């Protein structure tokens, strides 16, 4: 595979995963390596204002789980059951002493981390719907660092794939009859103006 195809196939594989093997822990050294990938990202003004809190102990994982919201389109699913919960989290925080905002650094870095995770056989889900105050309080994050995103991580017990949009152009993800997470993505013809 040439480099372009490697990137394309990793991007394609890099789907949001919400069900994991809770008993299969991720080494702290692996989590650190994932965070280290963010060093290679572009950064507005090259300020690099984002910081990361790794959450990998069972106690902390259990403590923060109730403050996360999962899969808004699944009205009758409240998130993964206990044995399928994330084995670790990476909390992306903004150092507000450096700047009030981070432009698009947050997304770039989350993509780098999730691509690295995918390449390591780890699944992840970027979570914006979470109780920021509670998470900061439980993890003793200093007020200067504002949690922006929670990245849930673990070894996947579900599959996910990209599908075409249906005739109605519905972009909502769904689980098919085999419980595979199907994620409709718009075609290139729609993306180009």
Interacting residues with ligand FMN (CB under 6 A): 15-16, 18, 69-71, 125-129, 160, 173, 183
**Residue among 142 and 172 whose Cβ is closer to ligand FMN:** 172
Q: Which is nearer to ligand FMN, 71 or 98 (CB)?
A: 71
Minimum CB distance to ligand FMN, residue 135 (Å): 12
- Separation of alpha carbons 17 and 71, rounded Å: 10
What's the min distance (Å) between Cβ of 29 and ligand FMN? Answer: 26
Both tokens assigned to 11 = 């991007």
In whole angstroms, the minimum distance from the beta carbon of 94 to ligand FMN comes to 14
User: DSSP letters of 170-188?
Assistant: ----EE-TT--EEEE---H
Residue with Cβ nearer ligand FMN (129 or 142): 129
The nearer residue to ligand FMN, 72 or 100, going by C-beta atoms, is 72
Residues 78 and 98: their CA atoms lie apart, in Å, by: 37
C-alpha 25/C-alpha 10 separation (Å) is: 23
For the bound state, the minimum distance from the C-beta of residue 21 to ligand FMN, rounded and expressed in Å, comes to 18
- The beta-strand segments (E) located in the chain are 50-55, 88-95, 123-127, 145-154, 160-163, 174-175, 181-184
Exposed, middle or buried, 38 (CB in 10 Å: 0-12/13-18/19+)?
Answer: buried
Give min distance, CB of 3 to ligand FMN, in A.
Answer: 22
Please say which residue, 141 or 163, places its beta carbon nearer to ligand FMN.
163
């Amino acid at each position: 595979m040439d480099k372009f195809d490697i990137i394309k196939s990793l991007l394609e594989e890099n789907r949001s995963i919400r069900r994991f093997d809770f008993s299969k822990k991720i080494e702290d050294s692996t989590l650190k390596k994932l965070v280290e990938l963010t060093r290679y990202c572009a950064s507005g003004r090259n300020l690099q204002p984002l910081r990361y809190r790794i959450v990998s102990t069972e106690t902390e994982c259990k403590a923060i789980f109730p403050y996360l919201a999962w899969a808004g389109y699944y009205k009758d699913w409240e998130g993964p059951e206990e044995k399928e919960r994330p084995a670790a989290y990476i909390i992306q925080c903004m150092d507000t002493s450096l700047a009030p905002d981070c432009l698009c650094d947050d997304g770039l870095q989350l993509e780098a981390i999730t691509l690295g995770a995918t390449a390591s056989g780890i699944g992840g889900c970027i979570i914006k719907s979470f109780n920021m105050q509670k998470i900061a309080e439980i993890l003793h994050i200093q007020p200067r660092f504002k949690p922006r995103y929670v990245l849930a991580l673990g070894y996947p017990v579900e599959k996910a794939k990209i599908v075409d949009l249906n005739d109605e152009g519905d972009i909502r993800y769904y689980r098919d009859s085999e419980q595979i997470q199907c994620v409709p993505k718009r075609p290139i013809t729609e993306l180009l103006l």
